[in-house]
Structure 1
């Protein structure tokens, strides 16, 4: 993926690409919106202070995630899929740092208020304080996307997937950017990968259906 991201960055840096207005790509691959970024629970401490990392067992957490992803791939009802996906997301959100949690919560509120500049300032601090925290990179990637800064978004997506290759949000984000830039074959592959780890992604499933029809020359 590193080579592909580098190629996209080169294209994004070209004068003609920077001047283009990218077309809408339809609801079947809808980009994230402010409503997707609920702040963290309100009972989190409001002040930062020292970075406090909880004593967690990385091997135990990884084992639990592996179990959940296995269950998610085999689930047979949407309700069960939603429950398992939510549990995975809660594990992803757990930074182990009170300060990072507060910054993430405030960033979520800033995104909802469409204050992307403030959100980026907060998320810059998150990735500096906790560079091993995949969700910090993923959330910053999404804010970059919302600002249509696809180059920076791709860099953060790559970092997210290096830390958590099964992050379906980052995979979906990558596929959306690939599609917007006209790399439909690559987008189809990436959407399929997202569905492998989380079969309950309705937007990704619709995107795959449309891209497959386009590849076959069949009207969507």
Structure 2
């Protein structure tokens, strides 16, 4: 897969990671929640360990993804774009491992129950078992974000985008964190990139409008 490097991300990680505390965001910043990111694909059903995974040809899957991304970017029909986005998300959820699928499902349920510690324990195993699975890194980035651990979230977003540079959820997450930390110019670039990939992202459209107004000195 293609590699997409965010120079601003690499410059921010050393500042945020390690022992340094996260900057005080002030009382005007709402507490993070999963709703800030794009909705995650529905978790695969937990069937008591009996998960059936169809074997897929990596080249065929890549070709299918490329076509779906073209459809998503060029479609004039919202319903067609939604179908393409949904199919892309379902492909992203295909880990190729029964064990990883079960762990992802249980991590999703833990997130829904606000049990972030359990979700992280499960996702830590996911990224060890399947480091090439972008959605595992993306899901863990979301949990770190919900815990306000922005440094770790940025690291996992970086891994997600290295594996799938078109992951609009990770791009949106990157932009949201950049904006929360005051990197407005970088956030604008990231939001625009997410919108290029998926023109139907209403949160990105609104954020771009606000950031451009702020840059011009007008109230958002």
Structure 2 CA distance for partners of 1:48 and 1:166, relative to 1, 3 Å:
same
Structure 2 CA distance for partners of 1:187 and 1:123, relative to 1, 3 Å:
same
**Corresponding residue of 2:166:** 166
Partner deviation per Cα, 1:50-105 (whole Å, 9 max, x = no partner) = xx975321110000000010011111122222111001000000111111111000
**Corresponding residue of 1:10:** 14
Secondary structure of the equivalent of 2:34? coil
Q: Partners of 1:208 and 1:157 in 2: how far apart? A: 20
In the TM superposition, 1:118-133 aligns within 5 A as 118-133=118-133
Query: Deviation of residue 18 (structure 1)?
Result: 2.9
Q: Partners of 2:175 and 2:214 in 1: how far apart? A: 16
TM-score by length of 2: 0.88
What RMSD in Å do the two structures reach over aligned CA positions?
A: 2.5
CA contact (8 A) 1:72 1:197 kept: yes
TM-score by length of 1: 0.88
CA contact (8 A) 2:23 2:181 kept: no
Unaligned regions of 5+ residues in structure 1, if any?
A: none
Structure 2 CA distance for partners of 1:69 and 1:107, relative to 1, 3 Å:
same
Match for residue 21 of structure 1 among 22, 25, 28: 25
Unaligned regions of 5+ residues in structure 2, if any?
A: none
Structure 2 CA distance for partners of 1:170 and 1:38, relative to 1, 3 Å:
closer
Q: Partners of 2:116 and 2:20 in 1: how far apart? A: 26
**Corresponding residue of 1:181:** 181
Query: Deviation of residue 212 (structure 1)?
Result: 0.8
CA contact (8 A) 2:188 2:208 kept: yes
* Greater Cα shift, 166-175 or 32-41: 32-41
Corresponding residue pairs, total: 214
Partner deviation per Cα, 1:96-155 (whole Å, 9 max, x = no partner) = 111111100000000000000000000011111111100000000000000000010001
Query: Deviation of residue 183 (structure 1)?
Result: 0.5
